[in-house]
């Protein structure tokens, strides 16, 4: 399905980063186990208790900063660099796809085609609640009280993580690009998402509804599973590289044992 597709949209969620050590949202080790999502990742929570919300993000930034892209991130980056027509879309805010793109492209390569459409922003980008300026920031933030809350260097207003909270609109450019690619995709590969958050999940449903081959990689059943043409109930880091390799098999780029004994 992947080898035969001209245009592929890939939608990833927290599950693709699980094997990198980034906690997922809804799993048993999930980030939300102590809080309900709506309690923390919302503008109301930030207004009500910016210290608590910033402590949560400071902890997540610290956890993610020691995580590396895994084989699934890298396999998708190589796929996007090796052939045209691939659009990587992620709900994740951990920046691991972008890191994999830079790694796969190498120091003088152009990571561009492998950079993901980030529907929910990035925890390593801050945004000013006053003047709206945004900038990359990977510093370790120690938030003990109001006096530690980060302020804008330009206007002094409170800074926030540049991520999309519940009840907030997704960035228009990213969302329309992702939905446009879904509308014209021949295949949609969905990796590690519970497919319950909208409008991000709409990318997969839209691709499916216009006839794209839907391939789901997930450890558990999701609302997409019933629609998927192929369900791979396996960990992303082990199965996504095989899928990418399989794409290589089709194009005859591979010799090796599989080809000798008449294929895998």
Smallest separation, CB 121 to Zn ion (Å): 17
Smallest separation, CB 58 to ligand BV8 (Å): 12
* Burial zone of 215 (CB within 10 Å; 0-12 exposed, 13-18 middle, 19+ buried): buried
* Partner from ligand BV8, Zn ion, none binding residue 135, C-beta < 5-8 Å depending on class: none
Give the pair of three-digit tokens for residue 157: 């207003």
Q: CA-based angle 9:219:216, to the nearest 5?
A: 25
Q: In terms of CB distance, is 128 or 191 closer to Zn ion?
A: 128
Smallest separation, CB 30 to ligand BV8 (Å): 6
- Which of helix, strand or coil describes residue 158? strand
**DSSP label at 186?**
S
Q: In terms of CB distance, is 105 or 191 closer to ligand BV8?
A: 191
- Which of helix, strand or coil describes residue 210? coil
* Partner from ligand BV8, Zn ion, none binding residue 128, C-beta < 5-8 Å depending on class: Zn ion
Q: In terms of CB distance, is 62 or 251 closer to ligand BV8?
A: 62
* Partner from Zn ion, ligand BV8, none binding residue 26, C-beta < 5-8 Å depending on class: ligand BV8
Smallest separation, CB 133 to Zn ion (Å): 5
Give the pair of three-digit tokens for residue 184: 């014209």
**Nearest by Cα to 247 from 262, 264, 234, 233:** 264
Instruction: Tell me the catalytic residues.
Output: 120
- The contact set with ligand BV8 (CB under 6 A) reads 13-15, 18-19, 24-27, 30, 37, 41, 91-93, 120, 163-169, 192-194, 196-198, 217-220, 222, 235-236
Smallest separation, CB 79 to Zn ion (Å): 39
Cβ-proximal residue to ligand BV8, closest one: 15
Number of residues that bind Zn ion (CB under 5 A): 7
Q: In terms of CB distance, is 63 or 254 closer to ligand BV8?
A: 63
Q: In terms of CB distance, is 33 or 154 closer to Zn ion?
A: 154
d(CA 36, CA 39): 5
Contact between 48 and Zn ion per CB under 5 A? no
Annotate 111-124 with DSSP letters as a single string: -GGG--EETTEEEE
Among positions 74, 152, 185, 212, the unique one binding Zn ion when judged by CB under 5 A: 152
Annotate 69-131 with DSSP letters as a single string: --HHHHHHHHHHHHSSSEEEEE---S-HHHHHHHHHH-TTS--GGG--EETTEEEEEEEETTT
d(CA 3, CA 243): 10
Near Zn ion in 153-182, by CB under 5 A: 154-155, 157
Question: By the criterion CB under 5 A, which residues form the site for Zn ion?
Answer: 128, 130-131, 152, 154-155, 157
């Amino acid at each position: 399905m992947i080898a035969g597709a001209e245009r592929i949209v890939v939608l990833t969620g927290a599950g693709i980063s699980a094997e990198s050590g980034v906690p997922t949202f809804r799993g048993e080790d999930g980030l939300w186990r102590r809080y309900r999502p709506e309690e923390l990742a919302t503008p109301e929570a930030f207004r009500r208790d910016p210290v608590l919300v910033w402590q949560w993000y400071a902890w997540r930034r610290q956890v993610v900063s020691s995580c590396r892209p895994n084989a699934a991130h890298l396999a998708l980056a190589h796929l996007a660099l090796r052939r045209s027509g691939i659009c990587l879309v992620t709900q994740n805010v951990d920046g691991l796809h972008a890191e994999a793109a830079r790694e796969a492209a190498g120091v003088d390569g152009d990571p561009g085609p492998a950079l993901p459409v980030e529907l929910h922003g990035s925890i390593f980008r801050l945004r000013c609640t006053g003047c709206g300026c945004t900038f990359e920031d990977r510093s370790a933030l120690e938030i003990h009280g109001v006096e530690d809350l980060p302020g804008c260097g330009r206007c002094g207003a409170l800074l926030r993580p540049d991520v999309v909270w519940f009840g907030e609109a997704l960035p228009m450019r990213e969302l329309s690009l992702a939905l446009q690619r879904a509308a014209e995709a021949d295949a949609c590969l969905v990796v590690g998402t519970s497919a319950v958050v909208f409008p991000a999940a709409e990318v997969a449903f839209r691709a499916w509804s216009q006839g794209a081959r839907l391939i789901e990689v997930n450890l558990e059943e999701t609302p997409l599973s019933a629609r998927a043409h192929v369900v791979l109930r396996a960990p992303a880091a082990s199965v996504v590289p095989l899928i990418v390799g399989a794409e290589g098999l089709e194009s005859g780029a591979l010799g090796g044992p599989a080809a000798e004994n008449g294929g895998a």
